[in-house]
Structure 1
């Protein structure tokens, strides 16, 4: 047989390459797993649900592995958004120091992971946590040669917040052990992601790795309704878990520093273990008639609250992205957030909002005042700036990127922020 010339080879290989490209775009069989999933209400659970719904809408076969929300465990077909997902709920136990958090029984996770993968020939596994389910599933997937992606939502503050009272030095030691555990799991995967560049740098320093991808959790901005006039009330909105790491007490104290002539109110959306304590704190500070603890709201009620708000405030110092802040921006709200962790990349200071010094009540009050005393033209310009800055966080971009990672394709993630992360030690 005559030997083909280079030109002949490229001509012959072109159809095969095209066929391979088409074949590589077949729907994927995806397992997404984590230690929290709706009905839990938190950033990691919400992201996991949005990711699963988006992938299912694109025609992929998506299975979820998560702790059972009650004692009832097994495999169920569950409605989430406009998608019907297969959810494998593992037997779980409630963490006694938390009002709803449940963990799967650690020593059974690998057994159940093998059973689930035996019945579902997954193309890729995507873990959302290294703590219990992610650790066990990653080991099983690694042993079977299944491509595995990990997204890190973990911060030491998340762990310390729910630990029993103990010396800070011991808590720091526990955090280091947790990071070491994370490193042992993440070395089994083919790619690691986290929501922002700053969070990626933080993770790289914490466990001594490089190459972490920064991929926004993403939101469907079209689900939110901005207004293009100035609200008639000066309602400050906070959305998130009512827990210690969110520093809501700082926001309450800042409320006492605002000029009474502004007639400001505060709406706190969310629930958590500090709800009763902070309700009493607001009364003690003389804010009983100005602060509303709305609890958990339906999606429609939440979006209406954001639409009608005047400014969004996030005093937390442990945000790896802050979906709540993104939702506020998609609603056209100026934002005032702590200059900590990943929050600064959401703010063009003075354009769509302001950063304040973490924990500084006076600075937070000053920045809220700066927004609320803007002229109508300048205030509406801030709202437009928030809408412009939300565009890179569209969920479709997030889905496109994860699909490429799942298929082993190259992914170029632009560096969205230049500031270095704080030390993870």
Structure 2
């Protein structure tokens, strides 16, 4: 099949797990013999003079990286306007540089590319498949308090309702998407994220040095890695640390990643008087992160909202014992007592007990880690997921262009109530 993938991130432009997902799926589809074109963008803040549009083949995938337009727009300040400008640039590039090439399907990844993806599917008369990786309402525990959140939500609704086939990465996300966007759940296909385990195998020579660097006296090491956002729940891990240290003296928490909650987390560590026991590492090169995964006593993923939780797969591939909340897809990825230890999202006391169960019985923790790693090749193999995605493409009907009105947005919580134990995050724009 000829596949046109539209995504706002694709390596080397990677913001989060979406970029890694699209890259792995595209390369596996190409390896299986499909003709794949990825329509994406150059880095934020650049323009055609510093980063002109590129058209190249990488790992069997034709990648069209589109230059940012001259307008002085910033994602953080002008998010909706910036997104519309990006969409316009992607659409122009596709219509002028892909002349004579017609895809069998357009695959859109998330709301940020809704405008160009819908336009291309309409113009070309081909099926539109949309993967919804997360939702605005989910990130904000059901509250759409700001104008920007309502705009994002309505664009998500538009993409989901215009798409001929919707994909989510977990059953939990399927239920969320069906409820939020008024879809028949039968129209939503669940295809998990995958992983290439070999990439996460550490060089044995680097592991002892990684452990010694952060725990010179053999102190227990807990690791969180990923984006630093409120919904990732790292503040709950920090809040649980005093209890954990009472049972397991000297325990340290390593936080690897960047994000908008970084300052909040530093302050949280001070508030709970554990600032010296929490080390913020920023972004780590892959080889350092992989070594640290192998050296850590546990990887803790305390998300309050998590559509899937690809970091859980990465931690399992690295051989780390897992402690994870049951938020969203994490409850499907981590099987409590089998591949890790789980706890309810936002429950600090339960988080501390889960960590204690791992630190208190390292033999059982290692056994669960081995089971988690073995499961990857069965349930999360990218070649299998690519084949299932291609089957979705082949079965998707080509719908006609549709004019849809705006969805009604409740003045209260769009899920009917806020999630128990979850403090509502401030609106994106105040």
Assess same fold via TM > 0.5: yes
Paired residues of 2:10 and 2:23 also in contact (CA < 8 A):
yes
Give a deviation string over 1:79-116, Cα, whole Å, max 9, x none: 86x556422325263223599x9635055554444334
1:59: Cα distance to partner? 3.9
1:50: Cα distance to partner? 1.7
Paired residues of 2:168 and 2:190 also in contact (CA < 8 A):
yes
Paired residues of 1:31 and 1:63 also in contact (CA < 8 A):
yes
Among 378, 397, 401, the alignment partner of 2:364 is 378
Give a deviation string over 1:193-235, Cα, whole Å, max 9, x none: 0101111111111111122010012111232238999986521
Which residues of 2 match residues 281-296 of structure 1 at below 5 A?
A: 281-296=268-283
1:370: Cα distance to partner? 1.0
Unmatched segments (≥5 aa) in structure 1: 1-27, 162-167, 411-421
1:262: Cα distance to partner? 4.2
3-state DSSP class of the match of 2:294? helix
Paired residues of 2:137 and 2:153 also in contact (CA < 8 A):
no
CA-atom RMSD, angstroms? Answer: 3.4
Among 42, 54, 67, the alignment partner of 1:76 is 54
Over 3 Å counting, the alpha-carbon distance change for 1:96 and 1:123 in structure 2 is same
1:300: Cα distance to partner? 2.0
Paired residues of 1:75 and 1:86 also in contact (CA < 8 A):
no
Which residues of 2 match residues 7-406 of structure 1 at below 5 A?
A: 28-38=1-11, 39-69=13-43, 70-73=45-48, 74-77=52-55, 82=59, 85-91=62-68, 93-97=73-77, 103=83, 105=85, 106=87, 110-131=91-112, 133-156=113-136, 170-171=145-146, 175=149, 178-210=152-184, 211-225=187-201, 234-260=220-246, 261-374=248-361, 376-390=362-376, 391-406=378-393
Q: State the alpha-carbon separation in 2 of the partners of residues 41 and 53 from structure 1.
A: 19
Give a deviation string over 1:95-139, Cα, whole Å, max 9, x none: 23599x9635055554444334435322221110233x2333223
Over 3 Å counting, the alpha-carbon distance change for 1:79 and 1:312 in structure 2 is farther
Q: State the alpha-carbon separation in 2 of the partners of residues 41 and 153 from structure 1.
A: 13
Q: State the alpha-carbon separation in 2 of the partners of residues 108 and 98 from structure 1.
A: 16
Over 3 Å counting, the alpha-carbon distance change for 1:243 and 1:292 in structure 2 is same
1:423: Cα distance to partner? 7.6
- How high is the TM-score relative to the length of structure 2? 0.77
Give a deviation string over 1:336-395, Cα, whole Å, max 9, x none: 222222211123222222222222222111110111101x43222221222233330111
Q: State the alpha-carbon separation in 2 of the partners of residues 157 and 37 from structure 1.
A: 25
Unmatched segments (≥5 aa) in structure 2: 212-217, 398-412, 417-430
How many residues are treated as equivalent by the alignment?
A: 377
Paired residues of 2:222 and 2:298 also in contact (CA < 8 A):
yes
Which one scores higher on RCO, CA 8 angstroms, separation ≥ 6? 2
Over 3 Å counting, the alpha-carbon distance change for 1:274 and 1:303 in structure 2 is same
- How high is the TM-score relative to the length of structure 1? 0.78
Q: State the alpha-carbon separation in 2 of the partners of residues 257 and 196 from structure 1.
A: 32
Paired residues of 1:139 and 1:188 also in contact (CA < 8 A):
no
3-state DSSP class of the match of 1:187? helix
1:275: Cα distance to partner? 2.2
